[in-house]
């Protein structure tokens, strides 16, 4: 059974889906951290925009 953004397992759990989201978000965070977030020339506002539009949706959906 599917719900928007979540795959519910036959036993009613979503653990695998949640673990996959966390792993993907962790990979993305480390990539962004090394290539983007540590850059002082990029404004905090721009960094927050990237967080809201790229990182957060990955965790939610």
pLDDT tier at 8, thresholds 50, 70, 90: low
For the entire predicted model, the pTM comes to: 0.58
DSSP state of 8: P
- Report the distance separating Cα 49 and Cα 29, nearest Å: 14
pLDDT tier at 1, thresholds 50, 70, 90: very low
Tokens describing residue 57: 């949706």
Per-domain residue ranges for the chain?
2-60
- The 10 Å Cβ neighbour count of residue 58 is 14
Of the candidates 7, 59, 6, the one whose C-alpha atom is nearest the C-alpha of residue 28 is 59
């Amino acid at each position: 059974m599917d719900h928007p953004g979540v795959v519910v397992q036959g036993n009613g759990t979503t653990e695998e889906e949640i673990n996959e989201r966390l792993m993907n978000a962790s990979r993305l965070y480390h990539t962004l951290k090394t290539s983007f977030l540590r850059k002082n020339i990029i404004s905090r506002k721009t960094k927050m925009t990237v967080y809201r539009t790229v990182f957060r949706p990955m965790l939610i959906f």
